[in-house]
């Protein structure tokens, strides 16, 4: 799957943080769905890589004075995604490991949606 990562990065970084967190949460939700239904592992693996990039591009934009814990957690998520990508066939072909992937992503989807909503509300308040 040929992707222009530079163009994607430019577009991603042009969006506000609420949209960035929403995009990451949406990717994780898609990974969950594909994994749960054992549909198209190639796309799921691509979404994992794209999510790693989203994290790589987002963390430097966080205020590390106030969000160091969240930044650290995002880096931990990035490493988890990397482990899955590195051992993809092992995870994809094993029902228990796929279930563990789904379970690991659930709290992240919720957390990122909450962060997205908080950021979105902050943007709305600033615009008012």
Tokens of 51: 């999510």
Please tell me whether the overall predicted TM-score, pTM, comes out greater than 0.85 for this model.
yes
Judged by DSSP in three states, 63 sits in coil
One digit per residue, the tens of pLDDT, for the chain of length 128 reads: 688 999 999 999 999 999 999 999 999 999 999 999 998 999 999 999 999 999 999 999 999 999 999 999 999 999 999 999 999 999 999 999 999 999 999 999 999 999 888 887 765 444 43
Taking CA atoms, 86 is separated from 48, 80, 81, 94, 99, in Å, by 11, 10, 9, 15, 18
Q: Which helix (H) or strand (E) holds 77?
A: helix 64-86
Whether the Cβ atoms of residue 47 and residue 13 lie closer than 8 Å to each other:
no
CATH class of 16-127: mainly alpha
Taking the domains of the chain in order of start, what are their residue ranges? Answer: 16-127
């Amino acid at each position: 799957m040929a992707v222009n990562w530079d163009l994607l990065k430019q577009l991603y970084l042009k969006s506000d943080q609420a949209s960035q967190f929403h995009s990451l949460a949406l990717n994780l939700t898609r990974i969950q769905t594909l994994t749960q239904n054992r549909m198209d592992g190639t796309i799921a693996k691509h979404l994992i890589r794209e999510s790693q990039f989203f994290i790589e591009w987002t963390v430097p934009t966080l205020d590390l004075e106030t969000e160091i814990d969240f930044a650290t957690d995002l880096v931990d998520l990035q490493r988890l995604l990397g482990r899955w990508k590195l051992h993809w066939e092992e995870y994809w072909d094993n029902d228990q490991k796929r279930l563990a992937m789904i379970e690991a992503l659930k709290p992240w989807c919720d957390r990122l949606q909450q962060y997205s909503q908080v950021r979105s509300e902050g943007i709305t308040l600033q615009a008012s």
